[in-house]
Structure 1
Amino acid sequence: MPGTIAAIGEPALLDGFRLAGVVIFTGSTDEEIRRAWTALPPDTAIVILTPRSARALEPALTDPRSPMTVVLPS
């Protein structure tokens, strides 16, 4: 079943993914990152995270109902 591929994090690290059709949610603070996580479309299948985003979302990522996540190398 196809779904949305999204990315959350700092714009400078994610802008290139937009060319591949990834939906970008930018955030530079923990609050902005958590807000972006809750704004993900319901059909999101994969979320690409910057290292900062992964740290900010660490508790939410353990939920088995969460989409699959991939963290960019630092």
Structure 2
Amino acid sequence: MTHVAAIGERRRVIGLATAGVVVLPAEDPEAVRAAWRGLPADVGLVILTPAAATALGPGPLEAREPLTAVMPP
């Protein structure tokens, strides 16, 4: 079974925990990249805040796995 994770500013992602999402708060670009590198192998979808997506750059967003979705601003 795959899981869903969310990376980004705590205030934007914390509410997703109530839906069973693995929440990885990251307030700065280095924390975002560290959270991405530390994703569990069973994560199939990563929800990113716009700031987190910018910090990661296009590479992870264009990868086949895990799927990514960026929250609206």
For residues 26 and 47 of structure 2, the distance between their equivalents in structure 1, rounded to whole angstroms, comes to 13
For residues 44 and 13 of structure 1, the distance between their equivalents in structure 2, rounded to whole angstroms, comes to 19
Aligned counterpart, 1:70: 69
Task: State the TM-score, normalizing by the size of structure 2.
Answer: 0.91
Detail structure 1 runs of 4+ shifted over 2 Å in the superposition.
Answer: none
For residues 10 and 53 of structure 1, the distance between their equivalents in structure 2, rounded to whole angstroms, comes to 8
Write the letter of the residue equivalent to 2:63. D
Give the superposition deviation at 1:43: 1.0
Ranges in structure 2 where 5+ consecutive residues have no aligned partner: none
For residues 9 and 69 of structure 1, the distance between their equivalents in structure 2, rounded to whole angstroms, comes to 13
Task: State the TM-score, normalizing by the size of structure 1.
Answer: 0.90
- Where does 1:24-63 land on structure 2 (aligned, <5 Å)? 24-61=23-60, 62-63=62-63
Q: CA RMSD in A?
A: 1.1
Give the superposition deviation at 1:71: 0.4
Ranges in structure 1 where 5+ consecutive residues have no aligned partner: none
Give the superposition deviation at 1:15: 1.1
For residues 13 and 71 of structure 1, the distance between their equivalents in structure 2, rounded to whole angstroms, comes to 12
Give the superposition deviation at 1:60: 3.2
Give the superposition deviation at 1:36: 0.2
Write the letter of the residue equivalent to 1:55. T
